[in-house]
């Protein structure tokens, strides 16, 4: 793992893990133009369970090789108005998820978005990157390669 001024160098894309959700090696795009991170989801709905409002959703696209036909349920969510990549304002739900990047577990906020037509189901934005990482656009899969090299 290469560091520069106490920041880890990350490439323009990588593969990350959501171990709590049973998802490994999920492709992600590093986007210094996006404020927040986002992840592809579908079947998003609010339900009431035991008298509490919860957010229910499924991650990834059913065509994705790591897709698990399983609902994620959280009572910790918020809805915010954001400007999407096309400059349009829209409401999105936000949840906190733990990811593993360069062997470190990090909890960060993700917007739940329709990224079905995008190459990468996950986008990592500035709120996560700015604290820990410096981007080298000529590189890719640095965290994934770090993980592979750590295995016995």
Give the pLDDT of residue 152: 64
pLDDT digit string, tens, across residues 65-121? 888 888 999 999 999 988 776 778 889 999 999 999 999 999 999 999 989 888 999
What percent of the chain has pLDDT above 90? 70
> What's the average model confidence in pLDDT over 32-42?
93
List all residues 6 or more positions away from 66 whose beta carbon is below 8 Å from its beta carbon.
23, 24, 25, 26, 60
Instruction: Report the predicted TM-score, pTM, of the whole model to 2 decimal places.
Output: 0.89
| Residues 104 and 28: beta-carbon distance below 8 Å | no
Domain that holds residue 60: 3-150
CATH number of the domain that residue 139 is part of: 2.40.70.10
The domain tally of the chain equals: 1
Report whether pLDDT(49) > 70.
yes
- Return the sign of the alpha-carbon dihedral for residues 8, 13, 17, 21: positive
């Amino acid at each position: 793992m290469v560091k520069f001024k106490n920041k880890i160098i990350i490439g323009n894309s990588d593969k990350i893990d959501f171990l709590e959700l049973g998802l490994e090696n999920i492709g992600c795009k590093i986007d210094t133009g996006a404020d927040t991170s986002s992840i592809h989801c579908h079947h998003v709905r609010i339900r009431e369970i035991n008298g509490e409002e919860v957010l229910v959703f499924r991650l990834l696209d059913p065509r994705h090789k790591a897709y698990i036909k399983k609902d994620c349920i959280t009572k910790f969510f918020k809805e915010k108005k954001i400007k999407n990549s096309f400059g349009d304002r829209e409401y999105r739900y936000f949840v906190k998820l733990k990811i593993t990047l360069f062997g470190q577990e990090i909890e960060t906020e993700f917007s739940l978005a329709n990224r079905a037509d995008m190459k990468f189901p996950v986008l990592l934005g500035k709120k996560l990157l700015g604290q820990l990482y410096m981007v080298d656009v000529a590189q890719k899969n640095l965290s994934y390669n770090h993980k592979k090299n750590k295995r016995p």
